[in-house]
Structure 1
């Protein structure tokens, strides 16, 4: 009987990434360790070194895996005579990126530093820069706008009204309740607009409306940037 291959060779890289992504989606990025992922497969962390030399390499691979979910082939046709960067195609790319960030918010904050380390990130950057340059933005503006686009999309996901970066659910609920009570206690004659809108600083009644408003604001800013 042929000897059984070592665990590192039996583990499929795609399966390992899927397990790591599931951990990130469920428990956050701090929970993604080689030991935690290895435990999911009943092996030692050494078995993962065949695919990833350390956690940094694993995180880069996770970013590549997530960016691979972005479909850049669905941009609208430009039969209306508009320039490539006038809005519809760039908005379609932004929407595709936002969809992936919403699905994997734990990875959103590490995107800026790791995006250009991956082939998928380079393709995305080239696509966005090409649209901005076609719209007449000079190289410096195109580069800066591309950064603003990414950080704004990330901010829409990670700073959604009502989100508080506190791991303890009970403490998070208390902080939100205290903030609501503070706003509601303001004298309406002095702060009519704050008291009227208080709830909407703490919750999103319609997520689709929230994200569409953010995309529209972003597109308008790019157009005049």
Structure 2
């Protein structure tokens, strides 16, 4: 029997093609017709794997979340600062690699397996390290807000590279025109500054929590 001209479809192949399409052209480009053309198949054949476009989008989102490293939370319980730092960096890295999907990724986990694995690993790691369940929940939410906020857009790219825009009226912005060309350095530096400040603050909060428990 002759081999098929195109490789057989699989969920993994469809999702990978969908992620590549969205990364290249944005979420609006994702349609079953366009995706079928990219894969060299007929549109109806996609429905054998995904009943609806929403189901496909869910799989795309969960695929991206699967890129987030969670191995740091498998370390023996007790340590939380270094895992929290490493996880936040990996999380942001996955978002920055797929900027077109960030607004959709910001939605709650719903039933997405990888999203729930992230929530489970972070919450469990924090509780095992000694945080109360309430505090662990708030820290997980706080870090998620921070990571997504840092990935939603570029601070540095918002400044035009025309020096004349800032001359005269904005005496403290004499070098603002240089920010755009230093976008990655500025944005990553801002993320690291905020991340370490957050964790430093949490260290103090953790110590106060411990003293409070000792007093009671």
Could you state the TM-score of these two structures normalised by the residue count of structure 1? 0.74
Residues 88 and 39 (structure 1), Cα distance of their counterparts in 2 relative to 1, 3 Å cut: same
Moved over 6 A (4+): none
| Cα drift, residue 108 of structure 1 | 1.8
Residues 1:211 and 2:191 are matched in the alignment: yes
Residues 1:150 and 2:123 are matched in the alignment: no
| Cα drift, residue 40 of structure 1 | 0.6
> Do the aligned residues in 1 keep the contact of 2:66 with 2:114 (CA within 8 Å)?
yes
What residue number does 1:84 align with?
A: 79
| Cα drift, residue 23 of structure 1 | 0.9
Residues 182 and 139 (structure 1), Cα distance of their counterparts in 2 relative to 1, 3 Å cut: farther
> Do the aligned residues in 2 keep the contact of 1:161 with 1:200 (CA within 8 Å)?
no
> Do the aligned residues in 1 keep the contact of 2:22 with 2:30 (CA within 8 Å)?
yes
**CA deviation map 1:133-157 (0-9, x unaligned):** 2454433332232122112111212
Which of 29, 32, 40 is the matching residue for 1:31? Answer: 29
Unaligned runs of 5+ residues in structure 2 are: 206-216
Q: CA RMSD in A?
A: 3.2
CA distance in 1, matches of 2:90, 2:28: 26
> Do the aligned residues in 2 keep the contact of 1:63 with 1:115 (CA within 8 Å)?
no
CA distance in 1, matches of 2:16, 2:184: 32
Unaligned runs of 5+ residues in structure 1 are: 165-174, 189-193
Could you state the TM-score of these two structures normalised by the residue count of structure 2? 0.76
